[in-house]
Amino acid sequence: MRRSDKEIKDPGEIEAILQEAMVCRIAMAASDHPYIVPVNFAVSDHHLYFHCAKSGKKIDMLRGNSSVCFEVDIPGDLVCGETACSWGMKYKSVIGFGQAYFIEGVGEKKKALDILMKKYAERGSFDYADDALDKVLVIGVRIETISGKKSG
């Protein structure tokens, strides 16, 4: 990291950002075409989880190249300066890299959906209709590297 003074070295602080952030941006690539998409997400035990429809550009790209980069952030306040280039922003962010995989089994899918629901609904056990489970694709990302950065 170029700005080591902004680096977050405490794994607990990185985990707190992952728990507080509401949106994760997943970046992927096919050939020489990058693509990024915002998703609802949850992180547990060095895995990131999100869900989506069973088809689409994101799915096609992940089937061809499972390597992803992800980013979450918690925006802060605008920092006003005396000159144009002294303005800035307070923030906390996390960037990570990993390998995406498709969660196929019903039990594993329910477990991942429970992790997602716990983050947003603040409780962890839900019932899922069979037709709803059939329509949704759940994707996991094995987190390989992760780093955090903050300003302010």
Give the side-chain half-sphere CA count within 13 A for 70. Answer: 30
Answer yes or no: are the C-beta atoms of 100 and 140 closer than 8 Å.
Answer: yes
For residue 95, what are the domain limits? 4-151
Task: Please tell me the predicted confidence (pLDDT) of residue 124.
Answer: 67
CATH of the domain at 54: 2.30.110.10
Question: Which residue ranges in the chain fall short of pLDDT 70?
Answer: 1-6, 124
Residue 102's nearest CA partner among 76, 134, 63 is 63
Task: Please tell me the predicted confidence (pLDDT) of residue 81.
Answer: 86
Q: Tokens 């991942």 belong to which residue?
A: 112
Task: Please tell me the predicted confidence (pLDDT) of residue 123.
Answer: 77
Q: How many structural domains is the chain composed of?
A: 1
